[in-house]
Amino acid sequence: MSDDTDLLLRRILTDVLGLKQNQASDFTEETGLFGHLPELDSMAVAGLLTELEDRLDIVIDDDEIDGEMLETYGGLLAFAKAKREQA
């Protein structure tokens, strides 16, 4: 399986944040997410995680969710890649 996790994750963030096409391609590993973007409140993050589950075909347990994975784009990408490898 070729790894399209990065692409899919950028698409999900584009949808959740209402970004313009390609705006999410500027995200780097260090780009801040939860706690950095005011529009990403708990309900938005819950929606984002649900979309991650649906589109990446993974299941995320609540106790897997921690500050580190949500803090930066790189953290979330690493988490999503690891989950897909387990799946």
Partner 1 sequence: MTPLTWPCPLRDGTTTDEYALSFDHARARRLLIVPALFDEANRLRRLTVEVMRRLDGAGIDSVLPDLPGTNESLQPLEIQEPQDWSNAMAAAASHFGATHVLGIRGGCLFTPAGFAALHYAPAKAPGILRQMLRARTLAAREAGREETREGLMHLALTQGIELVGHRLGPEFVRRFETFALRTDAVEITQETLGGSGLWLRAEPGESASQADALAAAIARALA
C-beta of 7: minimal distance to partner 1 in Å? 15
User: Torsions phi, psi of 22, nearest 5?
Assistant: 75, -10
CB nearer to partner 1: pick between 6 and 51: 51
CB of 29 or CB of 41, closer to partner 1: 41
**Counting every residue, how long is the chain?**
87
> Min. distance of Cβ 4 from partner 1 in angstroms?
17
Q: What is the CB-side half-sphere exposure of residue 43 using CA atoms within 13 A?
A: 1
> Other CB atoms closer than 10 Å to residue 76's CB: what's the count?
25
- Nearer residue to partner 1 within complex by CB, 1 or 17: 17
Which of 25, 39, 35 is CA-nearest to residue 72? 35
Residues forming the site for partner 1 (CB under 8 A) = 14-18, 34-35, 37, 39-47, 49-51, 62-63, 65-67
Nearest approach, Cβ of residue 21 and partner 1 (Å): 10
